[in-house]
C-alpha cells in the first residue's frame, strides 16, 4: 500500500452522487453544481484540510474536474476563489474550458 508521502500517486475519485471530486480518504475535495441542464459545471468550493496542505491536492482536484468537464463537453464557472485566483492564473491553458455567456467578452 502507498503511504501517500510521495504525492505523485494521489488518486482523485469522482463522487457523482455528492457532486464532488475527492481524495480517496474523502478529506480533500472539490465541490460543484451543475447548471444549464447539466452542461455547465459551477465549481463552488475546494477544500484541503490543514494537515494535507502543501501537497498540491487542490491542484490535483482541479485538474480532475477540468479534465472531466473537457472530456464531457462541459463548461466551467470558477465560483471558487482558489480556481479563479490561483489555479487558472497558474494554468492559463484551462481558460479555454470556462463558460462564457457572451463570447465577445472573452476577447
User: Could you write out the three-class secondary structure of 58-75?
Assistant: HHHHHHHHHHHHHHCCCE
Answer whether 43's CB lies under 8 Å from 81's CB: no
Residue owning grid cell 463548461: 75
Residue of 80, 83, 88, 97 marked active site? 80
- Length of the chain measured in residues: 107
Alpha helices (runs of H) in 15-71, residue ranges in sequence order: 57-71
Say whether 80 is catalytic: yes
Max Cα separation, the chain? 50
Residue positions annotated with a catalytic role: 80
Amino acid at each position: 500500500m502507498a503511504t501517500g508521502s510521495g504525492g505523485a500517486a494521489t488518486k482523485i475519485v469522482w463522487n457523482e452522487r455528492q457532486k464532488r471530486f475527492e481524495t480517496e480518504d474523502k478529506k480533500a475535495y472539490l465541490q460543484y453544481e451543475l447548471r444549464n441542464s447539466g452542461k455547465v459545471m459551477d465549481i463552488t468550493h475546494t477544500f484541503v484540510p490543514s494537515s494535507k496542505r502543501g501537497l498540491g491536492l487542490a491542484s490535483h482536484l482541479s485538474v480532475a474536474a477540468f479534465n472531466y468537464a473537457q472530456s464531457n463537453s462541459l463548461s466551467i464557472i470558477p465560483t471558487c476563489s482558489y480556481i479563479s485566483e490561483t489555479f487558472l492564473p497558474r494554468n492559463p491553458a484551462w481558460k479555454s474550458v470556462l463558460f462564457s455567456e457572451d463570447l465577445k467578452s472573452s476577447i
